[in-house]
Amino acid sequence: MRFTISMFLCCLLGTSLSAQTAAELRERGDENDAAGKYAEAVADYTKALELNPKDAGLYQLRGLAEFKRGKIAESIADFDKYIERVPKAKVSHWQRGISYYYAGRWDDGIAQFEGYQTYDSNDVENAVWRFMCMARKDGIPKARKEILKIGEDKRVPMRQVYDLYAGKLKVDDVLAAAKAGEPGKEQLNRQLFYAHLYVGIYHELEGDKKAALEHIRKAADEHRIGHYMWDVARVHRDILRKEAKQ
């Protein structure tokens, strides 16, 4: 079979167009994700992967979008594919740990957050999510006894959140710390978001679903922040609302 110059050029052009289309689809997926159109974002990332299956980052992006639309198992599958292609990302992949929690995969969640501790030992949230997995699996007393030791997390009110889960403070202490001083409007909003999120989760672990929904709803609806953790709060709120209707 003869392979002419024109055929060769067509192949080159087709490859270029495919790569360009994959990049455009990825960009459109990012735009849809930012707009809260998560199903559309997943569709764009999927099409982009069909054209450029070597782009490992697309699995990460699709996994994030899957979680945001409440598809927990699908998010884990994509995070796994991303880590398979980028092994160095395994230890620091806290998003997968969060998905493990919502999937009820307590042991996997514990392992993920223990791994993250070797990456960053100053993150209160990592200790809290490991606590959450342990509390679900073995109960609050054991989770409290074996809570990870954390260095200096300067974010307000993270130290108080840690001490709440460690059994040293009360819920009101966390909320008071979030409001203390004279933080600017944006900072206060961020501090109240985290306070209500983790106070809500704490109430849920203790079995008070009504108080849990009240605080997590406040985090998601009244104190939105531009971070993946806001999506976590929103997904958690929706889960609690669904359970309340059953």
pLDDT tens for the 246 residues of the chain, in order? 343 434 333 343 344 445 569 999 999 999 999 999 999 999 999 999 999 999 999 999 999 999 999 999 999 999 999 999 999 999 999 999 999 999 999 999 999 999 999 999 999 999 999 999 999 999 999 999 999 999 999 999 999 999 999 999 999 999 999 999 999 999 999 999 999 999 999 999 999 999 999 999 999 999 999 999 999 999 999 999 999 998
pLDDT score recorded for residue 136: 98
Domains annotated for the chain, with CATH where assigned, are 8-90 (1.25.40.10)
> CB under 8 Å to 86, separation ≥6 — which residues?
56
Amino acid at the residue 221: D
Q: Is the overall model pTM greater than 0.85, yes or no? A: yes
Q: Are 78 and 93 in contact (CB under 8 A)?
A: no
Query: Rounded to whole angstroms, how far apart are CA atoms 79 and 73?
Result: 10
Residue 245's region, left for phi above 0, alpha for psi from -120 to 50, else beta, is alpha
Q: What angle do the packed helices 5-34 and 57-68 form, to 10 degrees?
A: 30
